[in-house]
Structure 1
Amino acid sequence: MAKLEVDAEPGEVGFDAERLQRVGAHFRRYVDDGKLAGWTIAVARRGRVALLEHHGLADVEAQRPVTDDTLWRIYSMTKPITSVAALMLYERGAFELTDPVSRFIPEFADVRVYAAGSAANPSTVPAVEPVRIWHLLTHTAGLTYGWHHAHAVDEVYRSKGFEFGAPRGMDLEAACATWAGLPLLFQPGSEWNYSVATDVLGRVVEVASGKPFDAFLADEVFAPLGMDDTAFWVGPDDLERLAALYVLNPAGGLLRNAAMGDAATREPTFLSGGGGLVSTAADYHRFTQMLARGGELDGARLLGPHTVAYMTRNHLPGGADLDTFGRPLHAESAFRGVGFGLGVSVVTDAAAGKAVTHDGEFAWGGLASTAFYVDPVAEVTAMFFTQLMPSSAYPIRPQLRSLVNQALVG
């Protein structure tokens, strides 16, 4: 089991100790005011942890506190892990980033693109170019999510049972085949839209590696990094460690979402590379440190440093940001001055984004308000874990970043 503990005094790594205490003080108010059940925060610089704090409850009903080994549904923080897995195969020559997805999932050979009409009767046109691997990595494939509720194609997804996850009993192979038969939102490569693309990428990993997706992650990513607590579900022996999942109560406070939360307690048929993993702060810290160190941690190298540098640069055409190239979505993170790499957001113009950070910072978060970022310029990594849906409920991510950065003095 990975361990996470403070191993540096703040001043040793360039933080003002008193200012760093503002991070926990600020987020403790979220718990004290009933906005969050509980959380874990970890901040490191140059690989050394200067702040590790827990506050509140992992399970309000059971009065169980957040602890070092609390298990969190990381939802879309699964995406960078899946992207790393795919890039590991790219490094081994399994595919080119420009390869058509149909090489691995034949159903993607004849995709069509929404042109007009309702969800019940959409008109479509042929795709002018294939959906390619890099489209999946950058969310420019034209795929979508049913839960966006922003377009007729989103409604088509919901009508097929795809809102959060896949219909009960459907596996990843069948889900990808179904998505390939639905209209794309736009021509591949022409726009950015957050989507099931990373789930499709997980299927590419399966086919290209010849191993089930969960087995590939366990053998090639989690075992080398010592991420022993990261998996697609929580077994009976570890249920007491799993945090409860909450949503905002319109009348105030929190409501437990057992319907979605309990999905993590059953072995899934659908292995979601876009949102299926459960992890601990200690495990995910090891993943962020691997990225911060250019693909290697404690002698285990998953990616070459040039690949990590390539992954964490902006890949949107023409150097565009998400504000100009992306579909407008309700999000807690600003799109202005932020591009997208291969599985992570990338700050391209901090001044445009009106956030005190550095160009080159890369990040992502999850549906239940979890978040991480890596700032290569400041040599800082930060993580926040809680279990509140939706992630746009509060500005946790920008506040975390500004509070950490104001404590940096050296």
Structure 2
Amino acid sequence: MIGTADPATKGFDTERLERIRVWMDALVADRKYAGNSLLVARDGDVVFDHATGLRDLDTGLPFERDTVARIYSMTKPITTVALMMLAERGLFHLDAPVSDFIPAFADCQALIPGATTMDQTEPCATPTLHHLATHTSGLSYPFNPGLLSQAMDAEDMLFKPNQGSLAAMVDKVAALPLAFHPGTRWEYSVGIDILGRVIEVVSGKSLDAFFREEILDPLGMHETGFSVMPGTQERFAALYTPLAGDAFDLNSAETGGDTLRLTDAPGTSPFRNADMYSGGGGLVGTIDDYLRFTEMLRRGGRLGDLRLLGPRTVDFMTRNHLPGDIASMGPESFAEQPMEGMGFGLGGSVVLDPGRARCPGSVGDFSWGGMASTFFWFDPVEALSVVFFTQLSPSSSYPTRPQLKALVHAALAG
């Protein structure tokens, strides 16, 4: 279903492709990343793969193509695929209020403009499933600026792998007011974690079971899960940060003396036995597994003989669902992609204008990344699927994503 090919037969300049290898090796030599790996596929065939550096500096084990990594927010597109699989069965529509599935979201309140305390609220509409999938719900993340984020941070509402029941965490989030009225702004949020709970309610399965039975196993993603899968523990990478404090404190500019400070060791990581199923950031897996998912999307919902979604559903998901670009909706939050010239679909960003996004690419590119600096995109114009893995948090540490896109597009010769 996914083969390999001589890059020259797929329209690549092989000498220019080698620049990518040099760039990846330099990221390790400069101690920006401990290790990293990359797969580039065109027309369904891998034309470039490279892995370099170490997955664990303490043990000296290499970062290889089969290294298991935390993909964090690259879980989000998988969750929105699950959502649309259920929507295709006629079980709900995207304008349904989330309170239809999670009663704790009834009678929503939003902070008034300019609020200085959490009790300065006014009644608002309940977010819909569509609001949650597009980050326009009024929810937020603990690492964003603002009152709501501060309240979430105080309660550690980050949906970590060792934080217990998804249902209980969702109800805690629902007890807080929204940062703004749904649909009026874009703010990166736990909305897709909330959708994970909706999937559980509608399907009658845990999110872990739904993913395994309906997506991961059918696609052959046997080394991906909310916990490090049996037989892969020795390949699980360490997580590093250049920050002196919390690796998820995106408002901190305080760097430590070591650009690769260990923040989650593979042997003691909560991902070894997760009890929280975070649809917004909970999966760990291998780069080949994620390429299979990416290729399924690029091919319109199908991989080999398996069809997860109809092609028109995938086209719908990967269109811009905002009135304009992300920047036009007044975002104040962290985002792992540019905001100008970029729209947002269901669970990922969409290139509207490569010039305004200041990065080579095609109109219609669909992509997202993870907090540990992982990244993927597929380009329907060039028939490209690209997946990059490393393990450094936060993902805003270095501009590797636009650099990688520039390198890949520069190597396209036909």
Q: Deviations over 1:258-280 (max 9, x none)?
A: 27994444422221000000010
- Identity over aligned pairs, percent: 46
2:286 match: 280
Q: Equivalents in 1 of 2:8, 2:50: separation in Å?
A: 17
1:219 match: 213
Q: Equivalents in 2 of 1:145, 1:354: separation in Å?
A: 26
The within-5 A match list for 1:128-277 is 129-148=125-144, 150-162=145-157, 164-165=158-159, 169-234=163-228, 237-248=231-242, 250-258=256-264, 262-277=268-283
- Give secondary structure in 2 for the equivalent of 1:257: strand
Q: Does 1:23 align with 2:28?
A: no
| 1:226 partner letter | G
The within-5 A match list for 1:394-405 is 394-405=398-409
For the 8 Å contact 1:333–1:398, the answer to whether it is kept is: no
| 1:157 partner letter | M
Task: Decide which of 268, 271, 295 is 2:301's aligned counterpart.
Answer: 295
| 2:76 partner letter | K
RMSD over aligned Cα atoms: 1.8
Q: Does 1:53 align with 2:50?
A: yes
2:101 match: 104
Task: Decide which of 303, 326, 333 is 1:329's aligned counterpart.
Answer: 333
Unpaired stretches in structure 1, ≥5 consecutive residues: none
For the 8 Å contact 2:74–2:375, the answer to whether it is kept is: yes
Shift of the 285–96 alpha-carbon distance from structure 1 to 2, 3 Å rule, reads: same
Q: Equivalents in 2 of 1:193, 1:135: separation in Å?
A: 11
- Give secondary structure in 2 for the equivalent of 1:272: coil
Shift of the 87–332 alpha-carbon distance from structure 1 to 2, 3 Å rule, reads: closer
- Give secondary structure in 2 for the equivalent of 1:392: coil
Aligned-pair CA distance for 1:235: 5.0
Q: Deviations over 1:80-131 (max 9, x none)?
A: 0000000000000010011111111011111110115445x4311011x221
Q: Does 1:44 align with 2:41?
A: yes
- Give secondary structure in 2 for the equivalent of 1:147: coil
For the 8 Å contact 1:332–1:393, the answer to whether it is kept is: no
Number of aligned positions between the proteins: 401
TM-score (norm 2): 0.93
Task: Decide which of 364, 375, 380 is 2:368's aligned counterpart.
Answer: 364
The within-5 A match list for 1:62-101 is 62-101=59-98
Q: Equivalents in 1 of 2:226, 2:275: separation in Å?
A: 10
2:4 match: 7
Unpaired stretches in structure 2, ≥5 consecutive residues: 244-255
Aligned-pair CA distance for 1:354: 1.9
TM-score (norm 1): 0.94
Aligned-pair CA distance for 1:72: 0.5
Task: Decide which of 346, 354, 358 is 2:350's aligned counterpart.
Answer: 346
Aligned-pair CA distance for 1:329: 3.4
Task: Decide which of 296, 299, 312 is 1:306's aligned counterpart.
Answer: 312
**Displaced runs of 4 or more, over 3 A:** 116-119, 166-170, 259-266, 329-332
Shift of the 222–200 alpha-carbon distance from structure 1 to 2, 3 Å rule, reads: same
